[in-house]
Structure 1
């Protein structure tokens, strides 16, 4: 039987995208290419190669030690996560339809890759590498479509913080600079460069605003979830490049400062079949959700506790959910245009999932959303009545678990959610648990500035 690796190689060898890329290399003077893979935390890893080797590497691929998918992270006990030093490499094969020239240096291009077991293994040779989050989303989404006829379309709202000399934020005390054009003007160099580079790399930029002190959000058009995930990663790389050029810093840290708005990455989604959005009832004008939409929503809510290990993947992530009144959810619920809820019906046919933060791995977040929605559709899970009023008051809906409010709680909730773990597979699920459990242990053993301030002179 032909392996997944061989099928990808064969497709690349005869792909019109290969011919187009080779032509671009020749006509545009491209000298180098980044071959990009994605780690479990959403970090971009890979290799750079001279562009003259594209025709060969498009089929052969590039090799990388598999522990790269866990950021080559060693635990406190000295264990190299992802297989150890003696683990086999994976083979990264480019998806040639993602080949693009970098607008800030047109001698460089990049291409996203999917990861495979090497073909020399005695078992599972050439199989899709189970810890490749980008490849996982493609497989899960394709299987979901084959079973249900549905595809998930999403748009992300990536918030982020900019810091550096020359950046200013001045506004009335006890108010917010949100939506203030004057603050966009003060950040005009950032806005212009990010939008220009993003559009050059295929992102259809649609709107943006100044969200809070030093926080800017620039959005791109929604699309098939697989494309949205790639575009979010590309957007992050663009922002880092713009920061370098302007001599400032750009961060997707979920909660940079106490009392300041956290950096979220809300996922707006809809489900489509045969070109029709099934979340919407045609002819109904008031804010509403179809029966299929309600069941998909019910599944998403039922698995949101287990999903927190992905949606809030760092120790810092949970500072965002603790800061009540800052528009981040603190309970698992939904509402009609209610910005305090976990899921907001923001328009007919569109749901906004507010748990993912700016550091989220978008391939994992979209994978779990698909798995949760399908479980809701299969089991007709009822989301109940929408929350009226502020979610920060009142009790948690008893039908859904409590929202984990620390990384430690999120690890336990993920480990008990068999639907999400089944979608991720045993190897990736265990790697996520091991990676984040080590991070939680490191934090729990670390003395912070807050502790010094609280306890240094507290006794006697």
Structure 2
């Protein structure tokens, strides 16, 4: 049942003195876009008659196909707590439609909704919860971000060592004002690194919340004179920022389908098949869970990030999937490789599609790897058939390029546009001469 009706939104806008409404959507790279309308135009927008130029959005449409329409999701209506109390600002997340009012195949939100419908047709409801890590850095005299931080706090430290405790407090209070259920927050391992976790929920709501979360965190950081970044590895020599994804399936009545109290590990057949599907497709979907050149600077040994395509029932953090210890209705899997530079709609879509593929094809999960893979010999890793995540964006592109499954999940439009963009990004990176190369080779050669 919907949270809001059209009449509810019009009434709230009037009662709360809302003057502007931002109609938000994402491009295929997960960048949040919006068009602002005044309250006088809200009725038109709620009737799906708000048009925009799709040719100006990267990865969307050609000039001759420019007219696109925004269809607001009424349940995403929220006030921005950080805006003025007179002439307030609200937002609505939107689906993108073509002039004939059919869903636009290049809309990432549509892709996720399509896979969620497939899950529901199979009798499943998909739930997910992210663990979002980010850095807080100082800005320079012109307000531009740096990678400088004065604090030297580490994991779970408290104030005054953790100098950003009050910043996180403001972020959490803002998020709660926007309807988030915050479960925990803390300082992370690296100086300037933080984590805020919010409540596990249904897949589409989770993706919407990730987009809202990043916007709110960046906004509140700026009010404190800081820059919040979800870049996976902004500094060498310290841990990078991940976004572990916790996932589970329930039946249509809400029963956790990953739980089996009679199973050896408390896991059901469906859970094993879901795990098997993700492991099977991991290389080809890595470009969606780790989309940047910089993403692969995080995925190296020694910095608490996984590089091996394996799963562990005992919390082994060297494997890409681990099973948190809680069981019963809290039974879930944790995919540890993603980072917050993802497009959450596409990342969740490919994760769910891969898991469903494992269920449909009744795939068998390999044995749980409970030993630290980082200390295994190459021979032992090979003997146990443990594969490795792509080491670079280039390797991820190669795996994605040959992936018919990814093309089917994402659709021809997004698959082609995304591949073209990432190939261009990789070529540009390969053409750069880095400071490390100059320092390492200029004097020697």
Q: Given that residues 283 and 396 in structure 2 are in contact (C-alpha distance below 8 angstroms), is that contact kept between their aligned partners in structure 1?
A: yes
Q: Given that residues 37 and 113 in structure 1 are in contact (C-alpha distance below 8 angstroms), is that contact kept between their aligned partners in structure 2?
A: yes
**Structure-to-structure mapping, 1:411-430, within 5 angstroms:** 411-430=397-416
Deviation string 1:411-441 (CA, Å, 9 cap, x unpaired) is 1111222222211111110111011111111
Determine if the alignment matches structure 1 residue 133 to structure 2 residue 108.
yes
Determine if the alignment matches structure 1 residue 275 to structure 2 residue 250.
no
- Classify the secondary structure of the residue corresponding to 2:323: strand
Q: Given that residues 266 and 353 in structure 1 are in contact (C-alpha distance below 8 angstroms), is that contact kept between their aligned partners in structure 2?
A: yes
- Classify the secondary structure of the residue corresponding to 1:276: coil
Q: Name the counterpart of 1:75.
A: none
Q: Name the counterpart of 1:199.
A: 176
Deviation of 1:60 (Å): 3.4
Q: Name the counterpart of 1:436.
A: 422
Q: Given that residues 183 and 210 in structure 1 are in contact (C-alpha distance below 8 angstroms), is that contact kept between their aligned partners in structure 2?
A: no
User: Which of 341, 353, 357 is residue 375 of structure 1 equivalent to?
Assistant: 357
Q: 1:331 to 1:99 in 2, by over 3 A?
A: same
Deviation of 1:82 (Å): 4.0
- Classify the secondary structure of the residue corresponding to 1:431: helix
Deviation of 1:18 (Å): 1.1
Q: Name the counterpart of 1:145.
A: 120
**Number of equivalences:** 423
Task: State TM-score, norm by structure 1.
Answer: 0.88
Determine if the alignment matches structure 1 residue 62 to structure 2 residue 39.
no
Deviation string 1:277-314 (CA, Å, 9 cap, x unpaired) is 11111356x74321110011000110111111111101
Q: 1:223 to 1:66 in 2, by over 3 A?
A: same
Deviation string 1:198-244 (CA, Å, 9 cap, x unpaired) is 01111100111111211110110100011111111111011111112
Deviation of 1:255 (Å): 0.4
Determine if the alignment matches structure 1 residue 189 to structure 2 residue 166.
yes
Determine if the alignment matches structure 1 residue 178 to structure 2 residue 160.
no
Q: Given that residues 125 and 250 in structure 2 are in contact (C-alpha distance below 8 angstroms), is that contact kept between their aligned partners in structure 1?
A: yes
CA RMSD, 1 decimal: 2.1
Q: Name the counterpart of 2:33.
A: 45
Q: Given that residues 307 and 420 in structure 1 are in contact (C-alpha distance below 8 angstroms), is that contact kept between their aligned partners in structure 2?
A: yes
Q: Name the counterpart of 1:232.
A: 210
User: Which of 32, 42, 58 is residue 20 of structure 2 equivalent to?
Assistant: 32
Q: 1:54 to 1:234 in 2, by over 3 A?
A: same
Q: Name the counterpart of 1:363.
A: 345
Deviation of 1:330 (Å): 1.0
Deviation of 1:382 (Å): 1.5
Determine if the alignment matches structure 1 residue 158 to structure 2 residue 132.
yes
C-alpha separation in 2, matches of 1:397 and 1:250: 43
Q: Name the counterpart of 1:3.
A: none
C-alpha separation in 2, matches of 1:32 and 1:54: 9
Consecutive unaligned residues of structure 2, counting only runs of 5 or more, are 140-147
Deviation of 1:63 (Å): 2.3
Q: Given that residues 340 and 390 in structure 1 are in contact (C-alpha distance below 8 angstroms), is that contact kept between their aligned partners in structure 2?
A: yes
Q: Given that residues 305 and 403 in structure 1 are in contact (C-alpha distance below 8 angstroms), is that contact kept between their aligned partners in structure 2?
A: yes
User: Which of 90, 94, 101 is residue 109 of structure 1 equivalent to?
Assistant: 90
- Classify the secondary structure of the residue corresponding to 2:374: coil
Q: Given that residues 415 and 421 in structure 1 are in contact (C-alpha distance below 8 angstroms), is that contact kept between their aligned partners in structure 2?
A: no
Deviation of 1:16 (Å): 5.1
Q: Name the counterpart of 1:118.
A: 99
Determine if the alignment matches structure 1 residue 258 to structure 2 residue 244.
no
Deviation of 1:114 (Å): 0.1
- Classify the secondary structure of the residue corresponding to 2:25: strand
Q: Given that residues 158 and 165 in structure 2 are in contact (C-alpha distance below 8 angstroms), is that contact kept between their aligned partners in structure 1?
A: no
Q: Given that residues 407 and 440 in structure 1 are in contact (C-alpha distance below 8 angstroms), is that contact kept between their aligned partners in structure 2?
A: yes
Q: Which moved more, 1:40-49 or 1:409-418?
A: 409-418
Q: Name the counterpart of 2:335.
A: 353
C-alpha separation in 2, matches of 1:399 and 1:417: 21
